[in-house]
């Protein structure tokens, strides 16, 4: 019936119910059972963490372990991204290619996560990187839903100039699309550190810049190099002045990471991270 496992729909209302459990501080066991009862959500959460071999008899146990590994902030980010993505796709698929945007966000997050696996000195969980990638372009999803005319203007300008959505937005409006993202993520109680990273995504390089934001810019840039971009047309993006010269080692390592499997926890050689 479904061509791919990730095409399995999520039952209406289930994400909202699980979000309520998160808000009241339900433990991981209760959350794992709630996720396991919905095949669509289970598939998406498993894919988000690179888990693909669930057994029905142990699914809740495996989900419990996955929740422990990712942490509640990353799980909250995952739920938020799932809800908003579903809203855009179901509202009007012609506004924004939700699958394309999700793929770009997922690959960006995986690049950060795999880099952090190789660099424990950062003191950051790979799942923090994965969650950051999942949410970093959520402003475009919001714009497509809340103001279709504004989104069309941005999309048309981007297509005409061959630039990315975020650059096109800044050319038309006196602010950044990431400011819109930050306001929404604050309202959804995403961790303040994540909100701050996304809010300042496109500011200039500075000495006291958070390491994770540097990695986010690198990963987003590499995703475009791979041709995995949210725009349904050829578009280019650019790093702010000083980034490419300062972050040579980080960019080179991420390019090397992109040649192998990007699933968090998968250090095997070969394979590819850019499957649909």
CATH number at residue 235: 1.10.3210.10
Give pLDDT, residue 127.
77
Q: Over the Cα atoms of the chain, what is R_g?
A: 18
Give pLDDT, residue 154.
92
Residue that terminates a domain, selected from 70, 88, 112:
70
Indicate whether 64 and 138 sit together in one domain.
no
List residues bridging with 144 in a β-sheet. Answer: none
Indicate whether 130 and 174 sit together in one domain.
yes
Give pLDDT, residue 86.
56
Indicate whether 272 and 152 sit together in one domain.
yes
Indicate whether 155 and 270 sit together in one domain.
yes
Residue that terminates a domain, selected from 70, 105, 127:
70
Indicate whether 109 and 130 sit together in one domain.
yes
pTM, 2 dp = 0.72
SS (H, E, C) the chain: CCCCHHHCCCCCCHHHHHHHHHHCCCCHHHHHHHHHCCHHHHHHHHHHHCCCCCCCCCHHHHHHHHHHHHCHHHHHHHHHHHHHHHHHHHHCCCCCCHHHHHHHHHHHHHHHHHHHHHCHHHCCCHHHHHHHHHHCCHHHHHHHHHCHHHHHHHHHHHHHHCECHHHHHHHHCCCCHHHHHHHHHHHCCCCHHHHHHHHCCCCCCCCCCCHHHHHHHHHHHHHHHCCCCCCCCCCECCCCCCHHHHCHHHHHHHHHHCCCCCCCCCCCCCCCCCCC
Domain containing 32 equals: 1-70
Give pLDDT, residue 95.
63
Indicate whether 190 and 248 sit together in one domain.
yes
Per-residue pLDDT of the chain (276 residues; tens, 9 = 90+): 334 445 566 665 677 677 778 777 888 888 888 888 877 778 777 766 655 555 554 567 777 777 777 777 777 767 766 665 555 444 454 567 777 888 898 899 889 989 998 898 887 778 778 878 888 888 888 888 788 889 989 999 999 999 999 999 999 999 899 988 888 888 777 778 788 888 888 776 665 667 788 888 899 999 999 999 988 888 888 887 777 888 888 999 999 999 987 766 655 433 334 433
What domain count does the chain have?
2
Indicate whether 66 and 91 sit together in one domain.
no
CB 182 within 8 A of CB 170: no
Indicate whether 113 and 163 sit together in one domain.
yes
Indicate whether 22 and 136 sit together in one domain.
no
Indicate whether 153 and 252 sit together in one domain.
yes
Indicate whether 135 and 23 sit together in one domain.
no
């Amino acid at each position: 019936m479904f061509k791919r496992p990730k095409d399995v729909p999520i039952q209406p209302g289930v994400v909202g119910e699980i979000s309520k459990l998160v808000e009241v501080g339900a433990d991981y066991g209760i959350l794992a059972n709630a996720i396991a009862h919905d095949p669509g959500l289970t598939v998406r959460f498993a894919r988000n963490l690179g888990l693909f071999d669930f057994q029905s008899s142990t699914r809740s146990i495996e989900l419990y372990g996955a929740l422990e590994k990712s942490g509640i902030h990353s799980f909250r980010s995952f739920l938020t991204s799932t809800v908003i993505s579903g809203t855009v796709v179901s509202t009007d698929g012609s506004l924004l290619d939700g699958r394309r945007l999700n793929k770009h966000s997922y690959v960006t997050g995986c690049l950060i996560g795999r880099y952090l696996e190789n660099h424990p000195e950062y003191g950051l969980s790979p799942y923090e990187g994965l969650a950051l990638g999942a949410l970093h372009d959520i402003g475009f999803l919001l714009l497509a839903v809340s103001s279709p005319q504004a989104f069309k203007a941005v999309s048309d300008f981007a297509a005409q100039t061959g630039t990315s959505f975020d650059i096109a937005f800044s050319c038309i409006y006196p602010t950044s699309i990431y400011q819109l993202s930050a306001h929404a993520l604050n309202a959804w109680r995403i961790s303040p550190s994540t909100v701050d990273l996304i809010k300042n995504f496109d500011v200039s390089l500075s000495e006291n810049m958070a390491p994770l934001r540097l990695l986010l810019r690198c990963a987003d840039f590499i995703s475009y190099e791979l041709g995995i971009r949210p725009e349904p047309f050829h578009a280019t993006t650019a790093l702010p002045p000083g980034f490419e010269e300062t972050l040579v080692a980080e960019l080179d390592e991420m390019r090397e990471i992109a040649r192998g499997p990007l699933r968090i926890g998968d250090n095997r050689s070969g394979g590819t991270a850019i499957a649909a």
